[in-house]
Amino acid sequence: MDKKQVLSTLLRKTLMALTGLFLCFFLVIHLLGNLQLLMPPEQAKESFNSYSHLLSGNIFIKIISYVLYASILIHCLDALLITLSNRKTAGKYAVDKRGASSKWYSRNMGILGTLILIFLVFHFKDFWYQYKFGSLPKDESGHKDLYTIVIAAYQDWWYVLFYVLSMFALGYHLLHGFFSAARSLGVYHPKYVSWIRVFAIGYSYAITIGFAIIPIYIYLTQHVLWN
Amino acid sequence: MKIYLKIWRQSDAGSPGQLVSYELDQVIPHMSFLEMMDTLNEQLILNGDRPVEFDHDCREGICGQCGMMINGRAHGPIPHLTTCQLHMREFKDGDTIYVEPFRGAAFPVKRDLRVDRSAFDRIIMAGGFVSVNTGQAPEANGIPITHEQAESAFDSAACIGCGACVATCKNSSAALFTSAKIAHLAKLPQGKMESGKRVLSMVAQMDIEAFGHCSNTEACEVECPQHISVLNIARMNWEYTLSRILKK
């Protein structure tokens, strides 16, 4: 019997955990950058555009961005392979009430992940692609005016709704994912396990609310306060 | 009590099975679930039908033989219980109860509710042995072990191998079972020496047997009759990664 394994079920999960945690780390940096959009309009425009310019010119950020693209790809492909293999091993029941013993979002990480991926396609198309390859107008400082593009995007209520709902999908994905990553990496000490559980919940709430509040704030300030 | 049953009947591993309906009168609430099944089988035998086959042995919740999916949950609706410890008072007069075998690619149905769980035995065998020289009984305090350490190892060793963790897992993963065995020996000095080798071969065997990935939904801990903690899975992951990194 051949017992030499390259990628065992455990290593596949380790890969999910490592790429997932890197994406979690990235989300924090992304959110901190986005929070500049909550400043008064003139200040926000100057600050956000020069921040975007700073990031796009930095070699260190460039390396991080390639790690980011790789993480997204590996996380998705690994998830797909795991799901396909699980489909073969899983037992099926005529009457299935197994849901009573676990959380719905823990059982549906694949669906939540797919929703996030669909969101990412639009997100990359509207902002990332525009900034990298589109012809953006320049602001007063001569930086590409990403701020105006972002503000323009959140003028439609349906776009804001799509964005906010996607953030909830992300939130539930994180609620299971962050804690699960620590489990897959082997944190077994009861004290640190409970600390991580509390941190993971706080982290998921902070990321979800932090990202969701920005389009709502922009929509409300543009439509209600200044019109 | 009158109980309506829908039980999975399958004549052998190769044939397709189906849910068959039965009615059972005069069920006493104090009966265990298995006694109710015995009553049904007596009725079937009297009618000249083939009785429903199911695994059982001690009927006191410690052997891990009995295992059924009852109304879509492993060992029935109550968490941390074996099927033999489930009583009919948990059901109401006139209830319909669905009874299916534990399922999973690694748990083929042999007949009716009887399932081949020998994949578990092969995982244990893959773990090998603890190298202890035979001879005279060693001095009991020769290897110092704290009370907490011994208790913790025993908590992991308490697994009865019933398979409810696999049956309730959405991927039919054997992570809880395998990890309990790995952690039990890794927590004691006698087993620790070979823990690196052991975790690699047991995980390899677990994958060969076609058990799924662990999604960390923690459903297995809820259904486990022995309250085996999911922290064992974390321990297995730790031991495994460490062993892969340190392996020559």
Please write the tens of the pLDDT for every residue from A18-67.
999 999 999 999 999 999 999 988 899 999 999 998 988 889 999 999 99
A-facing residues of B in 190-209 (CB < 8 A) are: 200-201, 203-208
Q: Do B98 and A94 touch (CB under 8 A)?
A: yes
Flag whether pLDDT at A212 surpasses 50: yes
Tell me if residue B100 falls in helix, strand or coil. strand
Pairing of strands B109-111, B114-115: antiparallel
Tell me the one-letter amino acid at B150: A
Write out chain A residues lying below 8 Å of B100, CB-based: 93-95
Q: In angstroms, what separates the C-alpha of B73 from chain A's closest C-alpha?
A: 5
The reported pLDDT for the residue numbered A226 is: 56
Write out chain B residues lying below 8 Å of A9, CB-based: 173, 203, 206-207, 211-214
Write out chain A residues lying below 8 Å of B202, CB-based: none
Among 3.40.50.410, 3.30.930.10, 3.10.20.30, 3.30.559.10, name the CATH number for the domain at B3-110: 3.10.20.30
Q: Looking at the complex, does the CB of residue B177 fall below 8 Å from at least one CB of chain A?
A: no
Q: How high is the mean pLDDT of chain A?
A: 92
Q: What is the mean pLDDT of residues A132-152?
A: 85
Q: Do B105 and A98 touch (CB under 8 A)?
A: no
* pLDDT band at A2; cut points 50, 70, 90: very low
For the record, the structure tokens of A25 come out as 């780390």
| Under-50 pLDDT residues of chain B | none
Q: Looking at the complex, does the CB of residue B223 fall below 8 Å from at least one CB of chain A?
A: yes
Other C-beta atoms lying within 10 Å of the C-beta of residue B194: 16
Q: Do A98 and B214 touch (CB under 8 A)?
A: no
The reported pLDDT for the residue numbered A134 is: 81
Flag whether pLDDT at A225 surpasses 90: no
Q: Do A91 and B107 touch (CB under 8 A)?
A: yes
How buried is residue A47: exposed, middle or buried, by Cβ count under 10 Å (0-12/13-18/19+)?
middle
Q: Could you give the CA distance from residue B143 to residue B129 in angstroms, rounded to a whole number? A: 18
Tell me which residue in B79, B100, B242 faces A93 most closely, judged by beta carbons: B100
CB neighbours of A107 closer than 8 A, spacing ≥ 6? A99, B170, B215, B217
For residue A82, the chain B residue with the least C-alpha distance is: B213
- Inter-chain contacts counted by CB atoms under 8 A, chains A and B: 153
In tens, the pLDDT along A23-36 reads 999 999 999 999 99
Q: In angstroms, what separates the C-alpha of A182 from chain B's closest C-alpha?
A: 8
Q: Looking at the complex, does the CB of residue A179 fall below 8 Å from at least one CB of chain B?
A: yes
Q: Could you give the CA distance from residue B195 to residue B235 in angstroms, rounded to a whole number? A: 11
H helix intervals, chain B: 33-46, 118-126, 147-157, 164-168, 175-186, 189-192, 195-208, 219-223, 231-246
* pLDDT band at A4; cut points 50, 70, 90: low
The reported pLDDT for the residue numbered A128 is: 87
Tell me if residue B98 falls in helix, strand or coil. strand
Give Rg (Cα) of chain A: 20
In tens, the pLDDT along A75-118 reads 999 999 999 999 999 999 999 999 999 999 999 999 999 999 99
Q: Could you give the CA distance from residue B202 to residue B239 in angstroms, rounded to a whole number? A: 12
The reported pLDDT for the residue numbered B142 is: 86
Tell me the one-letter amino acid at A170: L
Could you give phi then psi for residue A108, rounded to 5 degrees? Answer: -120, 40
Q: Looking at the complex, does the CB of residue A200 fall below 8 Å from at least one CB of chain B?
A: no
CATH 3.10.20.30 domain locations along chain B: 3-110
Q: Looking at the complex, does the CB of residue B5 fall below 8 Å from at least one CB of chain A?
A: no
Q: Looking at the complex, does the CB of residue A85 fall below 8 Å from at least one CB of chain B?
A: yes
Q: Looking at the complex, does the CB of residue A13 fall below 8 Å from at least one CB of chain B?
A: yes
The reported pLDDT for the residue numbered B131 is: 78
Tell me if residue B179 falls in helix, strand or coil. helix
Taking alpha carbons only, the member of B106, B109, B103 closest to residue B122 is B106
**What ipTM was estimated for this complex?**
0.91
The reported pLDDT for the residue numbered A56 is: 86
* B117-131+146-246 carries CATH number 2.30.130.10: no
Q: Could you give the CA distance from residue B41 to residue B49 in angstroms, rounded to a whole number? A: 9
CATH 1.10.1060.10 domain locations along chain B: 117-131+146-246
Which residues in B15-50 are b (16+ Cβ under 10 Å) and which e? Answer: eebeeeebebeebeeebbbbbbbbbbbeeeeeeeee
* pLDDT band at A132; cut points 50, 70, 90: confident
Q: Looking at the complex, does the CB of residue A88 fall below 8 Å from at least one CB of chain B?
A: yes
For the record, the structure tokens of A41 come out as 């309009």
Tell me which residue in B73, B171, B213 faces A97 most closely, judged by beta carbons: B73
Beta bridge partners of B114: B111
B-facing residues of A in 21-80 (CB < 8 A) are: none
Q: For a pLDDT cut of 90, what percent of chain A falls above it?
A: 77
Q: Looking at the complex, does the CB of residue B216 fall below 8 Å from at least one CB of chain A?
A: yes
Q: In angstroms, what separates the C-alpha of A197 from chain B's closest C-alpha?
A: 13
Task: Measure CA B64 to chain center.
Answer: 6
